[in-house]
Structure 1
Amino acid sequence: MTTTGSPPADGALAGLGRSCFRRRRLVLLTWIIGVIAVAFVGFGHGAAPDNDFSGGGSQSAKAQKLMARHFPQEQGDRLTLAIRTDRGIDHPAVRQKIEKTITALADSPVTGPVTSPYQDDTLVTDDRRIARTTIPLSAKEVEKSEVKPLVDLVKDASDDNVTLALGGYMAEKAETPPQGPVESVGIVAAAVILFIAFGSLVAMGLPIVTALLAILGGLALIKLVGHLVPAPDFTVAFGAMVGLGVGIDYALFIVTRYKDALRDGDNPEHATVKAIATAGRAVLFAGTTVVIALMGLVVMGQRLMTGVAAATSVAVLVTMIGAVTLLPALLGFTGHRINAMRLPRRTPRREQRPGAAPGSRRPAFAERWAGVVQRRPLTAALLAGTSLLVLSVPVLSMRLSQPDASVQPHDRSSYIAYDILSDGFGPGYGAPLVFAAETGPGNTDLRTVVHAVARTDGIATVTPPRTSEDGQAVTFTAFPTTGYQDEATANLVHELRDDVLPRTPGGEHVLLGGPNASTIDAADEAASRLPLMIAVVIAVSMLLLIALVRSLTIAVQAAVMNLLSIGAAYGVVVAVVQWGWLGPALGFPTAMPVTTWVPMMMFPVLFGLSMDYQVFLISRVREEYQRTGDTRLAVARGLAGTARVITAAAAIMIAVFTTSLLGHDISVKQGGLGMAVAVLIDATVVRMVLVPAVMELCGKANWWMPGRRTPKTTATEPPAEVEEAVRV
């Protein structure tokens, strides 16, 4: 017999859950047709990625615009052929191979005229062992699939006598393998965690199916949103990682509440309505928090980061909508079969404490652990806080940059080219500094500036100045003695701009640009705007939390704890990526600065996710406090009631984020590592130690709100039981 249990909840969400449950065939069919249609349009006609981070009002951006106006023939991507041979390039067999390779490259439909190193001695080192030549790409936009055959051609031409390698941005992109099925590893790990948590294959499958269908539609929409708000090429991988993680977590919360309602005697429809009205409300709040936090990236003032924020927000919104519409429809199909195909388990015996009343329960581990922390709250808070601060120390030395050939795996052609060119022409060859100025007709003499730049410490060589065809501008290039990722190169750029050029006659009108200067400008701008973005995200998230839990104290606690956990994650990323601790073991070929966009993206995503867990825990604590009137017992029971779900949700997030380390995009791997560490810290140190310790220290002040009294309680439990419940 089907029991009816408690009456179904009322409200808009309850009505939505009921409607989706009753019209489950229509809802499922609509989702399937809609996702197929969006996927067809999005993946077939989506916008191409935009990787130009040089926009804005930086000096490098102004230099690039000047070069585009007056030196249009020099715009566009270029490849560099690097040559190394112990025999010397003039050896007959070596020369034959080099000339054959250059001819094949020049004959490609995507390349322009190629100058042979045999025609220009400046392209060859004095010992004639290393040479180079530049290969312009004929089209403004060349697909990496068109460049890959050129990379393979050069690789195949190498032998024991001569090493040939192709470098340049497009070569680097062309030989970087796609992320591949790394997300599938995260899905498998999430499925295992869900199976352990639910003990049922059916219950395990519902969050997976919901998340996969939603993320497929979300990724297709990301491609379409790119037509309105351009975004870089890592956006899809990052959006998939975040969307998959939150999608499974949101479905997990709802399925857990549904199973609880069935266990309490509700029929499937009432259980679905109750799950959507309660857990669904938390999901909507959680998703909204993540989206609002992501839109904090708009404060950074970088158009591509705005594109990343919009695209990732779309992925989160679709998974959130799927959780409150598609999932209740799927629950309508499963009904009581949610527990079908169960994992064999021994039925645990109910343990009874010595001296306890017959039938009384033994507190769960999380509840007993909370009791341990609450007996020494100050010590626990100090130990946890200190450990997080120690982990955050590396942040003080964080440097931002963009990956280049020097940080790629050492078997890649782009790295081999970098190594050859650095050996032959100096490490600064890959970090050229482009100087440009509009001079007007008859006034194109920048020799004084050229000499001043050449005499600057840190400059290896300077090319002669060149005048544009229209006679309106002059440009020259300087090569530093240090490489693209070296801090000394960034310091040199600042010195040239702040000291050398302003003090040199005519230098005040000269702009310093180039790819390296553009990267430095983007890093400086990100570092200067990051505190503002953090402040905006914290402020908006605190307002949302205050509106939900009606407590200023808890909102402040959440903000501080989230800052500590994210700071610790930043510190771990710096230690691994920049300092090189365990870097090779985790897939980072060499020590390198943190990618500029990684801390910008990590903060809003992690702050939103941490706020989700905080809301889930504090909502249960508040319920217990209103029922018992005792903060200590409320925290202990709230922790016990949510520990299993939060632990499973965090484990899924960690699994999904960690799988990014199996991919090939170094920047995405940095972001995945940082977010996995942050979630791990949040689910352990913060939720299991800091929250119970700090709430114990605050007592009734936890519920303080200006102009509002402490919430009334309906305590029914005697003080003796309160003491007994938190005693170990």
Structure 2
Amino acid sequence: MSTGILASLARLCYRRRRLVVATWIVGVIAVAFAGFGFGAASDNSASGGDSGSARAQSLIEEHFPDQQGDTLTLAIKADNGIDDPAARRTIEAVIADLAASPVTGPVTSPYQDRSLVTADRRIARTTIPLTAAEVSEADVEPLVTTVKEASGDGVTLGLGGKAAEKAETPPQGAAESVGVLAAAVILFIAFGSLVAMGLPIATALLAIVGGIALMKLAGHLAPSPDFTVLIAAMIGLGVGIDYALFIVTRYKESLQNGDEPEAATVTAIATAGRAVLFAGTTVVIALLGLVTMGLRMMTGVAIGASVTVLVTMVAAVTLLPAFLGFTGYRILGMRLPRRARKNRRAPAERWAAVVQRRPLVAAALAGVALLVLAAPALSMRLSLPDASVQPRDRSSYTSHEIVSEGFGPGYGAPLVFATRVDSDADLRPVVDAVRATPGIAYVTPPRISADQQAATFMAYPTTGFQDEATADLVHELRNDVLPAAPGGDGVHIGGPNALAIDSAEEISSRLPLMIAVVLAMSLVLLIALVRSVTIALQAAVMNLLSIGAAYGVLVAVVQWGWFGTALGFPTAMPITTWLPMMMFPILFGLSMDYEVFLISRVREEYERTGDTRAAVARGLARTAKVITAAAAIMIAVFTTSLLGPDISVKQAGFGMAVAVLIDATVVRMVLVPAVMELCGRANWWMPWRRTPSPAAADDVREPVQV
């Protein structure tokens, strides 16, 4: 009979199953009421650290309080010109409706200011100030609807601005539901049992609700952006179902081997449950690696997602054994018809034998394939999504297209210059130098603050927000133009475009530190679990290769545009600034999950036989089905993000799905057996003890089983 803390916990949860289930349900309801009712609001504020954009923003906030409010941009295009009587009636009616809203300030009509109209009088724009620093989507949505409904009869109208983009972005919808449905189908195919299908899903869903509610409460200490809920839901659903799947699989095996339900539950938690705790801890440690980036936004994401994973881990080793107490032998019932099995090796074991006959060739081919897939990552560009990459039916995209046509693509990418001044300051040399720079379309006159201590002006580039040339222009202005202009040393460049550039550069500079921290902590944990330095190093290198390949595929699809439209990306675009940084710890942790479940079984076989080749083949055979099902569930959950509206979340879901696919196929099915075959007994090397052998197997503590 299994002993130890986990065995005792499983036995307690099994025998007190009614109390455990009731406690979980009541606890989740209470936490959900508190979290969803009193949780912290999302905080999407980004910072460029101590960059030029951050300094410019600080000066503007300190000396230009009237520039703090958000604005909307009404773009107008009239086929017959805005002076056509019918067009004018439509345009003036829309402007009047927008000005009458309780959340907008005075609106300047393009009929009153000629600078708001193009020379041919076909395109016009106007800025609509919002009266509050924060307006709700419900307040702005009627304005978007008004503008959309007014379009037609030769007049096209679009409403742009961040508030408009958020207001017309539909909710995530049924994407997660599709993921749950896909997981149910995969589990039913894998298990052939309705009960076995339902247990992992029920456990994961209950844990996710509690985890997200706790995440919202934790937001009071570590505010997180609004996309954190979607990311946490994807990760929580994936790992929650996977962890329960591994335990249920072990439970079924024990029943089939003749154990009673209670003994099978205890065995499953003491073996697979222990692996789940190690795997989940690895994911949490990897996620908390984001804290080392020193970015407030990413700290919130790390803590929020970690809380959700922690709850799924606890549910797997407490709630699931209680559920198993209710199912008993019924988990083996209602099975799909199966073809009679012949006495032959499993397909995964035969495949491992094929790889092991030519391990060097297999490892080389797999390694080259991963490097080829990773190659596009060398050209990765980072930016933040703007109106130009939104779906074509959005009013914000229409506004962007009209303004770009009439006033140039740089109108949506203004550069805001800010500096401290004294009473006799003369900014004309700086303004003239900026105006004379190639790539600058127009520069506004400088404006002095009311306290006479700061000045600001704006410059519009000839290229758009997402163009690489705009980033090059910002660097040229900072490195060459401003230092050479009299009085230019103290001028800082800010604005949304400069902020995106600075954030990308800051993230790129800190990424190596985060990777090093995640690698070091994960290696220590894996060495403690598998008791092998060699295997831990193998896992780290293979994980880096699979993540690099996922980055490469993401760049090819999203940035280069290969099949991007078919996958729901409106156009080719740079990778979202925070995405590579966020993807790395998540994917590294998830890859370690599969490593733990596979190597645990391999270790068990090796300590029983002392034959590495046989241990790898049998370990792969015993875990291939469950790892394949787990990976398929994770891929299904992640790819459902492509059904949602958020461009950045789409990128994240697609990138993580690709990484899991690569890890579960190329890495687990080819690289692992090939490399372990090449290393032989060196796989089990530890510096402070000799490599175990069949004779020494009894001296080694019981391995983790799955």
TM-score (norm 1): 0.95
CA contact (8 A) 1:431 1:515 kept: yes
> Aligned to 1:33, which of 3, 19, 26?
26
Shift of 1:270: 1.1
> Aligned to 2:593, which of 608, 612, 618?
612
State the distance in 2 between where 1:455 and 1:112 align. Answer: 35
State the distance in 1 between where 2:124 and 2:643 align. Answer: 35
State the distance in 2 between where 1:260 and 1:209 align. Answer: 21
State the distance in 2 between where 1:56 and 1:27 align. Answer: 47
Name structure 2 gaps, 5 residues minimum.
698-706
> Aligned to 1:165, which of 158, 162, 179?
158
Per the alignment, residue 130 of structure 2 pairs with 137
Per the alignment, residue 102 of structure 1 pairs with 95
Per the alignment, residue 270 of structure 2 pairs with 277
Shift of 1:101: 0.8
* Counterpart code for 1:52: S
Per the alignment, residue 387 of structure 1 pairs with 369
Per the alignment, residue 302 of structure 2 pairs with 309
CA contact (8 A) 2:420 2:455 kept: yes
> Aligned to 1:322, which of 315, 327, 331?
315
> Aligned to 1:627, which of 608, 619, 644?
608
Q: Does 1:205 align with 2:187?
A: no
Per the alignment, residue 216 of structure 2 pairs with 223
Shift of 1:255: 0.5
Q: What SS class does the counterpart of residue 81 from structure 1 fall into?
A: strand
State the distance in 1 between where 2:694 and 2:394 align. Answer: 66
State the distance in 2 between where 1:152 and 1:45 align. Answer: 31
> Aligned to 2:571, which of 590, 595, 601?
590
Shift of 1:630: 1.0
1:326-368 deviation digits (Å, cap 9, x = unpaired) = 101111111111123222334x1424xxxxxxxxxx1111111
* Counterpart code for 1:350: K
State the distance in 2 between where 1:446 and 1:68 align. Answer: 20
Per the alignment, residue 573 of structure 1 pairs with 554
* Counterpart code for 2:105: G
Per the alignment, residue 704 of structure 2 pairs with none
Q: What SS class does the counterpart of residue 90 from structure 2 fall into?
A: helix
Shift of 1:161: 2.1
> Aligned to 2:79, which of 83, 86, 89?
86
Mean Cα displacement is larger for which, 277-286 or 529-538? 529-538
State the distance in 2 between where 1:712 and 1:170 align. Answer: 66
Per the alignment, residue 125 of structure 1 pairs with 118
> Aligned to 2:477, which of 486, 493, 496?
496
Per the alignment, residue 700 of structure 2 pairs with none
State the distance in 2 between where 1:509 and 1:59 align. Answer: 10
Shift of 1:54: 2.3
> Aligned to 2:407, which of 425, 450, 466?
425
Shift of 1:498: 1.0
Per the alignment, residue 526 of structure 1 pairs with 507
CA RMSD of aligned residues (A): 1.1
> Aligned to 2:384, which of 396, 402, 414?
402
Q: What SS class does the counterpart of residue 436 from structure 1 fall into?
A: strand
Shift of 1:267: 1.0
> Aligned to 2:230, which of 234, 237, 241?
237
* Counterpart code for 1:113: P
Per the alignment, residue 44 of structure 1 pairs with 37
Shift of 1:445: 2.1
Shift of 1:55: 5.1
> Aligned to 2:459, which of 475, 478, 485?
478
Per the alignment, residue 350 of structure 1 pairs with 342
Per the alignment, residue 702 of structure 2 pairs with none
> Aligned to 1:191, which of 181, 184, 189?
184
State the distance in 2 between where 1:443 and 1:149 align. Answer: 48
Per the alignment, residue 354 of structure 1 pairs with none
Shift of 1:714: 4.2
CA contact (8 A) 1:627 1:714 kept: no
1:576-628 deviation digits (Å, cap 9, x = unpaired) = 00000000000000000000111111111111111111111111111111111
Mean Cα displacement is larger for which, 54-63 or 255-264? 54-63
> Aligned to 1:636, which of 617, 632, 635?
617
Per the alignment, residue 539 of structure 1 pairs with 520
State the distance in 2 between where 1:443 and 1:627 align. Answer: 85
CA contact (8 A) 1:83 1:130 kept: yes
Q: What SS class does the counterpart of residue 456 from structure 2 fall into?
A: strand
CA contact (8 A) 1:155 1:164 kept: yes
> Aligned to 1:69, which of 45, 62, 71?
62
**Once the two structures are aligned, what percentage of the paired residues are identical?**
75
Moved over 6 A (4+): none
CA contact (8 A) 1:549 1:619 kept: yes
Per the alignment, residue 13 of structure 2 pairs with 20
> Aligned to 1:435, which of 397, 417, 427?
417
* Counterpart code for 2:503: A
The 5-angstrom pairing of residues 325-344 of structure 1 reads 325-344=318-337
Per the alignment, residue 355 of structure 1 pairs with none
Per the alignment, residue 4 of structure 1 pairs with none
C-alpha change, 1:462 and 1:349, in structure 2 (3 Å) is closer
Per the alignment, residue 644 of structure 2 pairs with 663
Q: What SS class does the counterpart of residue 509 from structure 1 fall into?
A: coil
> Aligned to 1:712, which of 693, 696, 706?
693
State the distance in 2 between where 1:567 and 1:688 align. Answer: 18
Q: Does 1:690 align with 2:671?
A: yes
Per the alignment, residue 60 of structure 1 pairs with 53
* Counterpart code for 2:265: T
Q: Does 1:375 align with 2:375?
A: no
Shift of 1:683: 0.7
State the distance in 2 between where 1:640 and 1:102 align. Answer: 69
Per the alignment, residue 280 of structure 2 pairs with 287
State the distance in 2 between where 1:175 and 1:46 align. Answer: 24
Q: What SS class does the counterpart of residue 586 from structure 1 fall into?
A: coil
CA contact (8 A) 2:74 2:126 kept: yes
CA contact (8 A) 2:482 2:489 kept: yes
CA contact (8 A) 1:628 1:715 kept: no
State the distance in 2 between where 1:715 and 1:544 align. Answer: 24
* Counterpart code for 1:439: V
Shift of 1:45: 1.9
State the distance in 1 between where 2:693 and 2:682 align. Answer: 13
State the distance in 2 between where 1:413 and 1:271 align. Answer: 58
State the distance in 2 between where 1:242 and 1:444 align. Answer: 54
Q: Does 1:466 align with 2:447?
A: yes
State the distance in 1 between where 2:572 and 2:636 align. Answer: 24
1:111-141 deviation digits (Å, cap 9, x = unpaired) = 1111111111111111111110101111111
Name structure 1 gaps, 5 residues minimum.
1-6, 352-361, 717-728
State the distance in 2 between where 1:76 and 1:47 align. Answer: 22
Q: Does 1:258 align with 2:251?
A: yes
Shift of 1:460: 0.5
CA contact (8 A) 1:114 1:135 kept: yes
CA contact (8 A) 2:193 2:331 kept: yes
TM-score (norm 2): 0.98
Q: What SS class does the counterpart of residue 164 from structure 1 fall into?
A: strand
CA contact (8 A) 2:49 2:506 kept: no
